[in-house]
Amino acid sequence: MKTLIVIAGPTGIGKTDLSIELAQMLDTVIISSDSRQLYQELKIGTAAPTSEDLAKVKHYMVGNKSIYDYYSAGKYELEVLDILKDIFKDKDTALLVGGSGMYIDAVCKGIDALPDADPEIRKQLIEKYEKEGIESLRFDLKRLDSEHYKAVDLNNPKRILRAVEICIQTGKTYTSFLTKPKKERDFNILKIGLERNRNELYDRINKRVDLMLEQGLIEEARQFHKDKHLNSLNTVGYKELFAYFDKEYDLEEAVRLIKRNSRRYAKRQMTWFKRDNDFRWFHPDDKIEITNFINANI
């Protein structure tokens, strides 16, 4: 049977280099499961694969959408399943690589369609947010769905508001819509998680932010300052620079916040992945062990 190999882990862990080596070894392709590398406009701030990376191994779901497009995990599930059908005509394996846990779950387990928004509930929550701030929404989410509270980006009001909205509207937790009995797939799934000790990971994240700034992150963000209201741009690295452009704080503070929020995001990613017992965990440098594990299970 065909096998989908998942390579998952937090931002800055080292997924890109390892996955390219594995794809070359297996003579296969990579499907990105990064919810921001989808956007063609956001190259530097999302650490998207470089042109050199793309030349080494064929990648799917990288730079194939615009920040102006509406997109969701449900759409991602359908698109990737179609891609896998084509890949598995010629290949025995494919790699699904990234750090967006909901996107990975959508492909591996399926994701239930969420109900349409109730206009009155949404109006009330937006008014509450505008009056009381994001902390009030966080409090509601923690009370209504403590599990999702631990995994969601607590600096993303749109995601928090949507989760609270679903809880109030349905009387169920938002998490329950993500943890239904998983859909059967006609391929095997092998899950590999990457981890480093915290100090090592945080140092890599800080250095990667510095590299992004050297590569032109400020200029990239400035191009889309006018579009800062888009959900696609409610992303670590961009939103802190937008606040800097708006003179809410200086550049030094913006950089500090990008690093801090990137570290916090990495922690939330690990919380999401660690709840899945199907993952087998490795240090990214343990390439022989990872290779042996793959060969023994495909």
> Does residue 172 share a domain with residue 87?
no
**Dist. CA 81–CA 280, nearest whole Å:** 23
**Dist. CA 3–CA 10, nearest whole Å:** 23
Last residue of a domain, one of 132, 156, 177: 177
CB 291 within 8 A of CB 22: yes
pLDDT at 65 over 80: yes
CB 216 within 8 A of CB 31: no
Q: Residues 79-105: what's their mean pLDDT?
A: 97
Q: List CB contacts of 80: < 8 A, sequence separation 6 or more.
A: 31, 60, 61, 96, 106, 107
Write out the residue range of the structural domain in which residue 227 sits. 3-112+179-297
- The domain that holds 132 is classified in CATH as 1.10.20.140
Q: Torsions phi, psi of 102, nearest 5?
A: -65, -35
3-state secondary structure at position 77: helix
CA nearest neighbour of 178 among 152, 140, 207:
152
- The domain that holds 197 is classified in CATH as 3.40.50.300
> Does residue 134 share a domain with residue 44?
no
> Does residue 225 share a domain with residue 274?
yes
Q: Residues 146-163: what's their mean pLDDT?
A: 89
Q: Residues 270-297: what's their mean pLDDT?
A: 96
**Dist. CA 61–CA 59, nearest whole Å:** 7
Q: Residues 213-229: what's their mean pLDDT?
A: 97
Q: How far is CA 191 from the centre of its chain?
A: 16
Higher pLDDT, 237 or 74: 237
State the total domains in the chain: 2
**Dist. CA 294–CA 285, nearest whole Å:** 15
Give the tokens for residue 225.
């300052």
Q: What is the pLDDT of residues 17-62, one digit of tens each?
A: 999 999 999 999 999 999 999 999 999 999 999 999 999 999 999 9
pTM, to two decimals: 0.82
> Does residue 129 share a domain with residue 29?
no
Residue with tokens 């490795």: 282
* pLDDT at residue 163 in the model: 93
> Does residue 64 share a domain with residue 205?
yes
CA nearest neighbour of 74 among 109, 117, 121, 31:
109
pLDDT at 113 over 70: no
> Does residue 162 share a domain with residue 269?
no
- Burial of 214 by CB count in 10 Å (0-12 exposed, 13-18 middle, 19+ buried)? exposed
Last residue of a domain, one of 157, 177, 197: 177
> Does residue 245 share a domain with residue 289?
yes
